[in-house]
Amino acid sequence: MRSMWKGAISFGLVNIPVRLYTATEQRDVTFRQVHREDGGRIKFRRVCSIDGEEVPFADVAKGYELPNGEMVVLTDDDLAQLPLPTARSIEVVNFTPAEQLDSILANKAYYTEPEPAGLRAYALLRDALERSGKIAIARVALRQRESLASLRTRDGVMVLETLLWPDEVRAADFEFLEQDVEVRSQELKMASSLIDSMTVDFDPAQYSDKYREALEELVEAKIEGHEVTAPPPPPEKPVTSLADALRATGAPVELESVPGADHFFAGAALVSLAGAAAFASFAGAAAAATRRRPCGSAARPTRPARN
């Protein structure tokens, strides 16, 4: 891996020199915009809206548009004068229990690697964090933007995860929250039984991007010049009630003793059971619709790099 930032973890009088590495990556199939007729790549130019001239990248600045349409131009020199004390420092502000951090704030994760001179201090902080069950809350500036961040341990490495600021999280303002919905204890027991019957230990290796796999197969077939045929759709197994869902899982629950069991949570409330199958069916249908198109005679595509 190639480091993208170099600085230090600082708290109190302690400074631990580290490097940052991007911990995650998107595995999407990438495409170019091309001319449908001949496969030629589409190019874009930076053109000034006032004089119509193409603008070199060196002459491009940042502009803040006012409500009346006027533009305030900010140059790199203007931005360089702004105070950014955390430009080369992961400044630990405090420590907090890990369970108190709302996952909706999570943004992007980075691995930290200590420099040789800071290895001992790094290991000490890592082990102390892991033993305490806490995470460090810090400030850090990456790519000219200061972010709130957390430091936690994972597989022997301290992971820096940038966080959204509180005002960047939208409020859940929905009308149904104002409605008074009565849930009976028997119904709640049934829903809990269904959840229990579907509960397993989470293993991310058990899941894969089916749409991406189908897309890669489509591109491979195009490269080989083969006609692509869609697989038959999986047979549908409609479930009309929560009671049927529980019976299908084999959960040891006496549904007959629950009033209204055969009609409870019909349709939309069964998303927890049928959602995955419905999504897979939808993605398969989308891929199938694309696959039915005959191979064109335009420019021969380039084989995509497999990640």
pLDDT tens for residues 231-243?
567 677 665 566 6
Same domain, 89 and 235: no
How is 83-151 classified by DSSP, letter by letter?
Answer: --TTTTEEEEEEEEEGGGS-GGGEEEEEEEEE-GGGHHHHHHHHHHHHHHTEEEEEEEEETTEEEEEEE
122 and 271 housed in the same domain: no
Does residue 258 contact residue 190 with C-beta atoms inside 8 Å?
Answer: yes
What 8-state DSSP symbol labels residue 255? Answer: G
The CA-CA-CA angle for residues 202, 204, 210, to 5°, reads: 125
**Whether 120 and 10 share a structural domain:** yes
SS (H, E, C) 201-248: CCCHHHCCCHHHHHHHHHHHHHHHCCCCCCCCCCCCCCCCCHHHHHHH
Same domain for 151 and 189: no
pTM of the model: 0.66
Q: Does 158 lie in the same domain as 194?
A: no
Q: Which CATH number fits the domain that encloses residue 86?
A: 2.40.290.10
Task: Answer yes or no: do 265 and 224 share one domain.
Answer: yes
Range of the domain at 233: 182-291
Burial class (CB in 10 A: 0-12, 13-18, 19+), 125: buried
In this structure, is residue 46 part of a structural domain? no
Q: Which of 274, 276, 257, 275 is nearest to 190 (CA)?
A: 257
Q: Are residues 137 and 19 in the same domain?
A: yes
* Mean pLDDT for the chain overall: 80
Q: Is residue 64 part of a domain?
A: no
Q: Distance of CA 69 to CAs 53, 63, 66, 76, Å?
A: 21, 11, 5, 22
Q: Indicate if 13 and 160 belong to the same structural domain.
A: yes
Predicted pLDDT of residue 254? 52
What is residue 76's predicted lDDT score, i.e. its pLDDT? 82
**Co-location of 224 and 260 in the same domain:** yes
Q: Is 61 inside a domain boundary?
A: no
Alpha-carbon distance 198 to 253, whole Å?
14
Tokens 């195009």 belong to residue? 222
Short-list 172, 12, 168, 163, CA closest to 100: 163
Question: What CA–CA distance (Å, rounded) separates 17 from 112?
Answer: 10
pLDDT (tens digit per residue) in 87-99: 789 999 999 999 9
What stretch of H or E contains 185?
helix 185-197
**Torsion angle, CA of 129/134/137/140, rounded to 10 degrees?**
40
Is residue 115 domain-shared with residue 244, that is, in the same domain? no
Q: Summarize pLDDT for 26-40 with one digit per residue, the tens.
A: 888 888 888 888 888
Please identify every stretch of the chain with a pLDDT value under 70, giving residue numbers as ranges.
85-86, 226-232, 234, 237-307
In a shared domain, residues 129 and 12: yes
Distance CA 108, CA 23 (A): 8
Q: How many domains does the chain have?
A: 2
Q: Which residues contact 307 (CB under 8 A, 6 or more apart)?
A: 25, 27
Tell me which residue has tokens 């964090």: 129
Q: Put residue 264 in one of left, alpha, beta given phi > 0 → left and psi -120 to 50 → alpha.
A: beta
Confidence at residue 231, expressed as pLDDT on a 0 to 100 scale: 57
Are both 90 and 152 inside the same structural domain?
yes
pLDDT at 295: 39
pLDDT, tens digit, for every residue of 205-232?
Answer: 898 888 888 888 888 888 888 655 555 6
